[in-house]
Structure 1
Amino acid sequence: MADRGNQITLITEKSDCKQLFSPKVNIITFDYIKAKTPLGYKIEWLSKTVLNLIYDHKGRIFFKHISKKIKKLSFDAVFCSSTFHSFPLTTAYMIAQQWQLPLYVDLRDIVEQTPRNSNNIFIHRLPGAMGSWLTKRFKYINIKRRNEAVRMAKAVFTVSKWHTDFLKSYNPNTYTVYNGFDENMFASQKIVSDTFDISYFGELTDNNLRYPIILFNALKNIVDGNKADLNNIKVRWFTDVNSAKNIKKTAKEFGIEDIMTYEKFVLEYDLVKKMNESSILLIFSHNPDIVGYNGVMTTKFFEYIGAGRPILITPNNQDELSATAKNIKCGLVSSDIDEIESFILQKYNEWQIDHYVKNTMEAEQRECFSRKKAAYKVIEILNSR
């Protein structure tokens, strides 16, 4: 949007994010939790969480801070992107009211997309009955605060058709805008590799939210049947320490731990390079036996599209993610162990020829999911309202 000549002022919490944005964007930052030690951070987080539970402490503090910073600036609209929490949406709502500006809301995640007993609204969680009560209460309060702002918005943007249909009950002017991939970062590159690499990027601490069991069964068949040279196959996990512990434990149960490698999260150029080195990129959908997951269109899917490598999605939950992947023919979506095994071996045989696996997706289909396309759609809607 800034590249199209729009004057953008980004107001955000994290002060270390400036390098991620174009120099054309004016950035105002605010640090809510200021403790420097791990213990101090937890104490401050807990005390402020209680205050937020009582009266939206964070939203109001942020509003006061911003009001001083933008007192001499003028704007045509307020655009707020938010996730599970009502912050910073409550702040944006207060600013829009105070300055009498139209409010546009972008919701990337909502509480209702996960099962009722899910506690992923918190990064840190209290254990036991107290933790369960606090999570339930916080969900209720966040939904109530969110809906108040959503009802007053001129338009709402969200990540899937399920989200759109759900949020239309609060605001009929709700539109689907996929997360997309950054075309300035993600590009398809032909990189030959010494090994056949199946790669996963991201967290995997909950085997129900991201269900790897079907893939692990397929890999077990390949390993036990000696159906490929195991010295040439690697399943690479670019993940955090806790996720690596969970994956190692699960892989050992299947006897496939010897083909696994673990690396830290990678960013920007290194991320794209590692993706392009891969023969297959992995996405895990939720456990199909768990009810309550809805409309999950992970950003990882669009980044993989940007990298242009074959994508394996499992399980096939017959949802929007599955339908989109099948429509653009970017790889395989399956819950069938034998089908996944065949797909891996097919790509492995292709890799053996010239140490590279071709992409099967058309360039025009790929470009449909760029963030530039998404920005054009948002601008078109903003101009029409």
Structure 2
Amino acid sequence: MRNILIISYHYPPDNIIAARRSEAYARHFHKFGIFPTIVTDRYEKEYDGQGKLIGYKNHKPYEKPITEQYKSHRVVRLPRYITPLQWFQKSIERIPLLSPLFTLLMNCLGHFDMHLLSHHANYKSFLSNHLKNNSYNMILAIDSPHFHVRLAYLLHKDFRIPYIVDFRDLYDNNILNQDYRPTLKRRIINNLKKKAFTKWLKNTKLITASSQLLADYYAGLINCKGFEITNGFEAIDYEAIEQEKTQLFQIASTGRLYCNQDWSVFASGVRKFSSEQKPDNFRVVFAGVRKDANDIIKTIKSFIPEQYLMINGWLDKEEVYRIQYSSSILIVASWQGTLGVYSGKIFEYLGARRPILFAPGDNDGVVDRLLKRTRAGISTNTPQEVCTFITEKYNEWKQTGRVSYSGIEEEIMKYTRENQVKKMAELIHNFLPAKSNR
């Protein structure tokens, strides 16, 4: 059994999709000869006087890490206490001249997660002591945040432990777009990041990323080969859900909405559908919408009549899965101006086994090709195509009470979290030296 140290700020109960990736490694690595130790935060929820969640608790410097030991993995949760440098950053962040100069200085020194300066210091202090008394065959750093990669590089220098880096995103998801014209400030930051990552990756044994295009970009910085490990879905999450009979033909989007997604194609297609069909048993649900999506929701409301809309805020993941499972169509919009990026929710939609409507498509990009391989849905690029697809499914639903699904199970199962972790484990075993330096 190989022992691997995983550095991952995002980990449950942190309730975002980034936490699902490290959770999958914790849950499945042991099946493939790897025992992982995950170093993460002590996520302890804080509530206001009305019982509303307001965030996660910050700790005192004297508070200690908490270790959770399981048969399949170990989790070490570090206290979230604020260092003097972080206090200084917070105190000047609203000062017009001083704050950007301080940020530039820290960027030049290789610190890009300004809100996590404390974490870099706290994680480095803990890990430097931890590795003096604990032996690992390899370090796995999951990016982002970026400080994980910096730490893996520094710890390799100090302890000679091989390290690999697993990327969820690019440091700027627009950089592969030929039409991208970043501001001068963004160009400076991107150049600093590119220089830093080239340095941090030069000794890595393996580079993986959530899509092949991203893996190739990072691997190209140091002239090596990168490998794709996509996000995925946990099969067990959907096995326990009972399909609810509904009197509504429901289209659903679950999870965050992003400003660089174009929702107008879908919304315009729905407007055309509702105008032509005038359905009285139809609903479009946007679940898990955050406040930062207010402008997107305004755009959607300008197209879709309000009687057909249901918009929910944060929901726990079990409720999200239930909504997915009980819907007739699941909708996702492509990321405009970005290449090689899967939406994380696309894999959850595969797990729900419901027809996927991708509008607009990504011009034969990774999601278009995924839908073709799995036959789990359709890519559309015009409001008329959206309207036609919805109308076909709606008529089928009216006639039979259900919507057929044509997904190829063998292809879909390739994207379970377990199978993606298996791919990662095989890469690790192939690239790991026969004997670690530690």
Provide the C-alpha distance between the structure 2 equivalents of 1:43 and 1:265, rounded to a whole number of angstroms.
30
Give the C-alpha shift of residue 224 in structure 1: 2.2
Structure 1 counterpart of 2:361: 316
* Aligned-partner residue type, residue 71 of structure 1: K
Provide the C-alpha distance between the structure 2 equivalents of 1:43 and 1:321, rounded to a whole number of angstroms.
43
Q: Decide whether aligned partners of structure 1 residues 248 and 316 sit closer, same or farther in structure 2, where only a CA change above 3 A counts.
A: closer
Provide the C-alpha distance between the structure 2 equivalents of 1:266 and 1:210, rounded to a whole number of angstroms.
21
Q: Note the residue ranges of structure 1 that are not aligned, 5 or more in a row.
A: 118-131
Cα displacement string for residues 191-238 of structure 1 (whole angstroms, at most 9, x for unaligned residues): 3222111111122241xx11111111111112222x142x31111011
Aligned partner of 1:182 among 231, 234, 240: 234
* Aligned-partner residue type, residue 302 of structure 2: E
Matched, 1:283 2:332: yes
Q: Decide whether aligned partners of structure 1 residues 275 and 88 sit closer, same or farther in structure 2, where only a CA change above 3 A counts.
A: same
If the length of structure 2 is used for normalisation, what is the TM-score?
0.73
Give the C-alpha shift of residue 157 in structure 1: 0.6
Q: Decide whether aligned partners of structure 1 residues 347 and 375 sit closer, same or farther in structure 2, where only a CA change above 3 A counts.
A: same
Show the 5 A alignment for 1:1-385: 1-13=29-41, 15-16=43-44, 24-31=72-79, 34=82, 43=91, 52-56=106-110, 58=117, 59-83=120-144, 85-115=145-175, 135-169=186-220, 170-187=222-239, 190-206=243-259, 209-225=260-276, 227-229=277-279, 231-243=280-292, 245-254=294-303, 256-287=305-336, 290=337, 293-317=338-362, 318-385=364-431
* Aligned-partner residue type, residue 209 of structure 2: T
Give the C-alpha shift of residue 274 in structure 1: 1.3
Structure 2 counterpart of 1:123: none
- Aligned identity (percent) is 21
Range with greater deviation from structure 2 (164-173 or 276-285): 164-173
Provide the C-alpha distance between the structure 2 equivalents of 1:362 and 1:20, rounded to a whole number of angstroms.
39
Give the C-alpha shift of residue 166 in structure 1: 2.0
Name the SS for the 1:105 alignment partner.
strand
Provide the C-alpha distance between the structure 2 equivalents of 1:336 and 1:21, rounded to a whole number of angstroms.
52
If the length of structure 1 is used for normalisation, what is the TM-score?
0.83
Task: Work out whether residues 220 and 256 of structure 1, in 8 Å CA contact, stay in contact via their aligned partners in 2.
Answer: yes
Range with greater deviation from structure 2 (236-245 or 304-313): 236-245
Task: Work out whether residues 197 and 278 of structure 1, in 8 Å CA contact, stay in contact via their aligned partners in 2.
Answer: yes
Provide the C-alpha distance between the structure 2 equivalents of 1:20 and 1:267, rounded to a whole number of angstroms.
23
Give the C-alpha shift of residue 60 in structure 1: 4.7
Task: Work out whether residues 273 and 390 of structure 2, in 8 Å CA contact, stay in contact via their aligned partners in 1.
Answer: no
Q: Decide whether aligned partners of structure 1 residues 199 and 362 sit closer, same or farther in structure 2, where only a CA change above 3 A counts.
A: same
Provide the C-alpha distance between the structure 1 equivalents of 2:71 and 2:189, rounded to a whole number of angstroms.
37
Structure 1 counterpart of 2:3: none
The two structures, once aligned, show a CA RMSD in angstroms of: 3.2
* Aligned-partner residue type, residue 232 of structure 1: N
Name the SS for the 2:415 alignment partner.
coil
Q: Decide whether aligned partners of structure 1 residues 23 and 53 sit closer, same or farther in structure 2, where only a CA change above 3 A counts.
A: farther
Name the SS for the 1:264 alignment partner.
coil
Provide the C-alpha distance between the structure 2 equivalents of 1:228 and 1:255, rounded to a whole number of angstroms.
12
Provide the C-alpha distance between the structure 1 equivalents of 2:263 and 2:165, rounded to a whole number of angstroms.
34
Give the C-alpha shift of residue 358 in structure 1: 2.9
Provide the C-alpha distance between the structure 1 equivalents of 2:89 and 2:399, rounded to a whole number of angstroms.
53
Q: Note the residue ranges of structure 2 that are not aligned, 5 or more in a row.
A: 1-28, 46-65, 112-116, 178-182, 432-438
Range with greater deviation from structure 2 (272-281 or 44-53): 44-53
Structure 2 counterpart of 1:121: none
Range with greater deviation from structure 2 (303-312 or 26-35): 26-35
* Aligned-partner residue type, residue 197 of structure 1: Q
Range with greater deviation from structure 2 (144-153 or 87-96): 144-153
Number of residue pairs aligned between Structure 1 and Structure 2 = 360
Task: Work out whether residues 185 and 268 of structure 1, in 8 Å CA contact, stay in contact via their aligned partners in 2.
Answer: no
Task: Work out whether residues 235 and 260 of structure 1, in 8 Å CA contact, stay in contact via their aligned partners in 2.
Answer: yes
Provide the C-alpha distance between the structure 1 equivalents of 2:242 and 2:357, rounded to a whole number of angstroms.
19
Give the C-alpha shift of residue 269 in structure 1: 1.9
Q: Decide whether aligned partners of structure 1 residues 219 and 190 sit closer, same or farther in structure 2, where only a CA change above 3 A counts.
A: same
